[in-house]
Amino acid sequence: MVYATIMVTVMLVILSEILPKSWAISAPERFALFVAPFVRVVVFLFGGISTLANAIVRSLLGLFGVRLDGNMFDTSAHEELRGAV
């Protein structure tokens, strides 16, 4: 049982971490064109969930008298991207 866990862990790391990164580094344009449709579906599916979560946070904070700026979440995302680049 322990060997199976170790093998699954190794396969998971190789297939989900190392392989995609190596592929993206070796052929960035081809990789981007391949994954773009999948990313589009994920954004479509989880975009609504993210909007709902933000609305819940705003309403809960509103109960405590905290008002958030309308574009606070957008600004935060831009700052995270700027920091990553």
Q: How many Å apart are CA 68 and CA 47, to the nearest integer?
A: 20
Domain tally for the chain?
1
**This prediction's pTM:** 0.52
Distances in Å between the Cα of 47 and the Cα atoms of 4, 34, 39, 60, 77 are: 36, 21, 11, 20, 14
Across all residues in the chain, what is the average pLDDT? Answer: 87
Q: How many Å apart are CA 37 and CA 64, to the nearest integer?
A: 41
Q: How many Å apart are CA 42 and CA 35, to the nearest integer?
A: 11
Model confidence over 55-82: pLDDT tens digits?
Answer: 899 899 989 988 877 665 566 677 777 7
Question: What is the mean predicted confidence (pLDDT) over 40-63?
Answer: 91
Domain that holds residue 56: 2-84
